[in-house]
Structure 1
């Protein structure tokens, strides 16, 4: 499997996770999810697993082997997640951290992946007597790495004396759209809710041509970010159903068709009439393990799972993933 095929596969995985979260956990309310962060964590768990557990992870991630996953995530971390602010591109802060109980010793091969590929700093802690302190330490780390955007990645009580290892991922992106909206043209319009009602909210407006493409039942808008001398190109995409109650059906469609994004993105500017986008700020937290188990990934979260490639200890036989928390936000 080449890099391009791996990208298509991981896009399918990401959209499948997003669909399940939005249709169940989020209930199509104001929700935001970072499936790529979940995929990074699952890729790391795959490196530390073997047997049926590894097979299930690879099947879920639509990848042929750990080598393919490692190659893909290595490219992702070193190229896509690199900070471009010095070259006039978006500010990107990507950080990983590991907190491991002092009773365990990470296997050299697993630690090498953590440090070299994931660029994760490893911290030895005592979960037996200082679980609360470790929780506070991880949350303080996440707040620092996201410029204060995420203040609590671990809920109170999520860490106890049975915890043996924590892997934390923090991703912060800040960019300016290529064509900024004039604040003086912001006006209030009706925003329609799924229950049939509407609310009056501020909308950003513009009379410029836009990257828009219409499909059967929905439209797609692309807003490019300022690039400067950064060779990478970043965009925000908005998917808008034609029907006021059409969001659940659109989410189902986007998350079910393989290679959907390759065939449904606008490539050229067109003239538009009335054009407006609501100003928004979304914060949403959920426990992703339930979502993943609902999608068929169960062994890593069971005492029948095999995560013996993570730690060099007899305790490795009892290791399993208890929780995966996500607290993403967007504005």
Structure 2
């Protein structure tokens, strides 16, 4: 059972008196492995259904729709730049925030994030998805492990603040996110360092400074974090001696010679209206990278029109075919501040003085209102002959106020899209665009 608020505050005061950490302490619960799907009070519509396949499918579809909208909005701001995001990481961090939202704030967040369920039904499906992702993990970290997939959550709250028991219980029950007590008012720099260390540890040091200096301040009340780490070997690795430099035409028309990996094998493949798509599976077969190469000269139009329905059509048309794939070796690192983008996608109230996060805290007891002050997202992906390594982290800062077919040839020598999906759940873990392979070279 989660501790009552009185017990939480009493314990936090006792821990703080010991000065174990200058920034943050916690988590308060001694058991972060709560069972999924249990009923908790507090979140509206406490009717958690068993998160079956259809519920997970709907959540995955909504997450894909949100991710495509997010990437499209970011690409519109910087169309000539390679970009990479984890819609899953952003969604999980904001789903935890959504647990404390009320009124119009809650309605807008659900619509912008494409949440298909509400209340504890939504959180139960997120919890079941997290469990199934964890079940796909291949073991402890280390370069010799062929497959790793890890997701972790945490919440960092101001000490002596009247957090609602129901809010804390929801996040602990469904997201394994126990409250870690911080003193943002007087030690926000130390809190920033502590949170960054937590993120770095859970992303194998790929993301070391999610929160920049001065990101937090005396008015910070809560930070909700998600971190995702993925490393996998191709089921059919590319032979390094087949990698050759080849011309790649960037979106602006400039050409550069880049390392192009190449192999001939049978893969899920489809051509739809001149657009080619292929899925390259990783060891174990549960996760694969889908590469979509729009017809020459149509990248921008295709990117603008790509939604979950069209992506689903591309996937459904795939069938195993023998052919040759040539793919650039690439690395992309991205960092975003998302408030303006998320507001444009339909949830402006959450960032305004009119935000309602009364489900998080006793506003009368707090004597102030809360709003989302910032949403920070950082991501990294490296694709080479052996496989893929990717990591992402998100922080939400809440502050006061069949048949035999002819062989195919697919040469990815112009702008392309890609995403990494967890096949059993359909969850899009990562999503990106490469419009200039020369700028994405690791060497």
* Structure 1 length-normalised TM: 0.91
Q: Where does structure 2 lack aligned partners over 5 or more consecutive residues?
A: 1-48, 383-443
**Residue 307 (1) aligns with residue 364 (2):** no
Cα deviation for residue 23 of structure 1 reads: 2.3
Cα deviation for residue 330 of structure 1 reads: 0.6
**Residue 322 (1) aligns with residue 373 (2):** yes
Partner-residue secondary structure (3-state), 1:29: coil
Q: 1:176 corresponds to which residue?
A: 233
Q: 1:294 corresponds to which residue?
A: 344
Cα deviation for residue 83 of structure 1 reads: 4.9
* 8 A Cα contact 1:18 1:33, kept in partner: yes
Please point out which of 278, 283, 288 is paired with 1:235.
288
Q: 2:213 corresponds to which residue?
A: 156
Q: Report how many residues are paired.
A: 322
Distance 2:58 2:183 in 1: 42
Q: 1:47 corresponds to which residue?
A: 99
Q: 2:65 corresponds to which residue?
A: 12
Please point out which of 78, 81, 90 is paired with 1:29.
81
Partner-residue secondary structure (3-state), 1:323: strand
Cα deviation for residue 28 of structure 1 reads: 4.6
Please point out which of 64, 71, 78 is paired with 2:124.
71
Q: CA RMSD in A?
A: 2.0
* Structure 2 length-normalised TM: 0.69
Q: Where does structure 1 lack aligned partners over 5 or more consecutive residues?
A: none
- The answer to which structure has the higher strand fraction is 2
Stretch of structure 1 that moved more, 196-205 or 11-20: 11-20
Q: Deviations over 1:71-113 (max 9, x none)?
A: 3211211112445214987211211121111131321111112
Change (3 A) 1:86 1:124: closer
Partner-residue secondary structure (3-state), 2:330: coil
Please point out which of 159, 163, 173 is paired with 1:116.
173
Distance 1:34 1:6 in 2: 15
Change (3 A) 1:122 1:162: same
Distance 1:304 1:329 in 2: 35
Q: Deviations over 1:194-244 (max 9, x none)?
A: 1111111101111223322111142111001111xxxx711100111221x
* 8 A Cα contact 1:206 1:276, kept in partner: yes
Change (3 A) 1:27 1:68: farther
Distance 2:368 2:358 in 1: 6
Q: 1:61 corresponds to which residue?
A: 113
Cα deviation for residue 272 of structure 1 reads: 2.5
Distance 2:121 2:63 in 1: 11
Q: 2:415 corresponds to which residue?
A: none
Q: Deviations over 1:132-169 (max 9, x none)?
A: 11111111111111111111111121111111111111
Partner-residue secondary structure (3-state), 2:208: coil
Partner-residue secondary structure (3-state), 2:163: coil
Stretch of structure 1 that moved more, 185-194 or 50-59: 50-59
Please point out which of 250, 256, 263 is paired with 1:193.
250
For the pair shown, the structure with the greater C-alpha radius of gyration is 2
